[in-house]
Structure 1
Amino acid sequence: MWVAGVDGCPAGWIAVLMRRDDPLVHHVRVVPRFTDIVDGTEQPAFLAVDMPIGLPDHTEGSGLLPEKLVRSLLGARQSSVFAIPSRAAVHAQSYEDACALAASTSDPPRKVSRQGFNIFPKIVELDALLRRRPELAPRLYEVHPEVAFWSLNGESPLAEPKKVKSRPYEPGLALRRDLLRRAGLPAALIDARPPRGAAADDLLDALAGLTVALDIATGGGRSFPEPPGRDAHGLPVAIWTLRRR
């Protein structure tokens, strides 16, 4: 059985794929489309992806319930959990339209950040895929890297960020690599150079997702909330991490 940790990256998607029964069988791949992963040669049975799954028609307060629940765990890292606006705003064709639609479908009215808007195409890609092919939903699990690292760190927020002023911050990256080593991932993966089209933090985030996918594949996993909610299209609404140790 193959499992995968997946993150968005400048060239599309970065996936770390591993055989659950043989951790030495693994590889890292950057692909332009998410379907290249789910329909690829490995056909991973469990994919943990750092991208929202399930979108609201209307938002209240500081975002969806999963976002509120995990944000409270992360201390100084809580700003890394974005509030996802409504599906209409995410599917908007321009930043101005996205802001207008987000404000009209939120209470209190909230616009969207440029940073958030830049990842909307990937959210739309995943949302459209799952609505077109709902049979994929049991294989896909939304994760957030900082929540995975929180779990790997003994359910404690990390003291160092992975970026400072939008630039890689080596002490924070080193801390995350150490947690991945302690989780038992092969050094060849942790110390690998990211493939062309992805950055070092993209690879680390995909590896964090992989630890969650491996845990879910062995009967573990923990969702916020528990059980997951559902959106208007029946898609799951939850952020997953590792089970309590």
Structure 2
Amino acid sequence: MDVLGIDACAKQGWVGIRLTDGVYATSLVDGSLGTLIDRAGAVVTIAVDMPLGLVDQGWRAADRAARALLGPRRSSVFPIAPRPVWQEPDYPAAASRCQVLTGSGLSRQAWALAPKLSEARACWLADERIHEVHPEMSFYAMAGRAPLAYAKKTWRGQHLRRALLAGAGVVLPDELGEADRIPADDVLDAGAAAWSAHRIALGIAERVPEVPEPDAEGRLVEIRY
């Protein structure tokens, strides 16, 4: 059983980790998410670290639930603005629309997600194998439902995350091939996404919130882990 976990990279596009029966198989890097998924071949489940389901007003319950569980890592989960915000042409218009629909503004950091969010959402709407995940929720589960004490860009944080993956059966080799030049935190996040993809395929993954909201296109707004 092959699954794929994917994380967005700032410069390289997307990095994927493919597992076979829960064990590392290969890495993939591509500027296009759709192309990366095609190159992965016949995978049964795909987990992407990117907001996919959107509500039409207010903030997503999935993000509030994840932040409540993650404690010191809650800042890694951005509150995701409603669907109409992402349809605006620029940041000032998006921030204004967000204020109307949520009562709060929109950070430039969140708006920077717009191109990849739109790309990932289009893939999600076209492919039922794709699920939204968040690596910190995956690591939270690996650590026995405990938020990690160290951030993912720190020395301790990266070693802790690699050890948690290895303990869960996802041993990332020193030489990854395509992903050798990808930042370590992105590779670790893709590995965590792949671990969650395997759990989704087995039918044992958890979700937040417990009762997901509906997306305007009919799918569920949820984070799997």
TM over 0.5: yes
What is the match of residue 44 of structure 1? 43
Within the candidate set 100, 105, 120, 2:101 is matched to 105
Contact 1:223 / 1:239 at 8 angstroms: preserved in 2?
yes
Instruction: Please list the CA deviations of residues 48-103 of structure 1 after superposition, one character each: whole Å capped at 9, or x if unmatched.
Output: 111111111111xxx31111111111111111110000112123221111111111
What is the match of residue 205 of structure 1? 189
Structure 2 CA distance for partners of 1:194 and 1:176, relative to 1, 3 Å = farther
AA matched with 2:104: R
Secondary structure of the 2:179 match is coil
Offset at residue 157 of structure 1 (A): 1.0
Say if 2:110 is the partner of 1:116: yes
CA distance in 2 between counterparts of 1:194 and 1:177 reads 18
What is the match of residue 198 of structure 2? 214
CA distance in 1 between counterparts of 2:178 and 2:140 reads 23
Say if 2:16 is the partner of 1:20: no
Within the candidate set 171, 175, 190, 1:186 is matched to 171
Q: How does 1:122-133 map to 2 (within 5 A)?
A: 122-131=116-125, 133=126
CA distance in 2 between counterparts of 1:64 and 1:146 reads 17
Say if 2:69 is the partner of 1:79: no
What is the match of residue 133 of structure 2? 143
Secondary structure of the 1:217 match is helix
CA distance in 1 between counterparts of 2:190 and 2:94 reads 28
Runs (5+) with no aligned partner, structure 1: 164-168
Contact 1:88 / 1:101 at 8 angstroms: preserved in 2?
yes
Normalized against structure 1, the TM-score is what? 0.85
Structure 2 CA distance for partners of 1:68 and 1:177, relative to 1, 3 Å = same
CA distance in 2 between counterparts of 1:130 and 1:211 reads 19
CA distance in 2 between counterparts of 1:147 and 1:40 reads 27
Within the candidate set 55, 78, 87, 1:91 is matched to 87
Offset at residue 193 of structure 1 (A): 7.8
What is the match of residue 56 of structure 2? 57
AA matched with 1:174: H
Runs (5+) with no aligned partner, structure 2: none
AA matched with 1:98: A
Secondary structure of the 1:8 match is strand
What do you get for the CA RMSD once the two structures are aligned? 1.9
Percent of pairs with identical residues = 34
Q: Which has the higher helix share?
A: 2
What is the match of residue 223 of structure 2? 239
What is the match of residue 8 of structure 1? 8
Contact 2:73 / 2:148 at 8 angstroms: preserved in 1?
yes
What is the match of residue 166 of structure 1? none
CA distance in 2 between counterparts of 1:175 and 1:40 reads 30
Offset at residue 229 of structure 1 (A): 2.9
Structure 2 CA distance for partners of 1:198 and 1:41, relative to 1, 3 Å = closer
Normalized against structure 2, the TM-score is what? 0.92
AA matched with 1:143: V
AA matched with 2:163: D
Instruction: Please list the CA deviations of residues 92-129 of structure 1 after superposition, one character each: whole Å capped at 9, or x if unmatched.
Output: 221111111111211xx222111111111111112233
Moved more, 10-19 or 218-227: 218-227
Secondary structure of the 1:14 match is strand
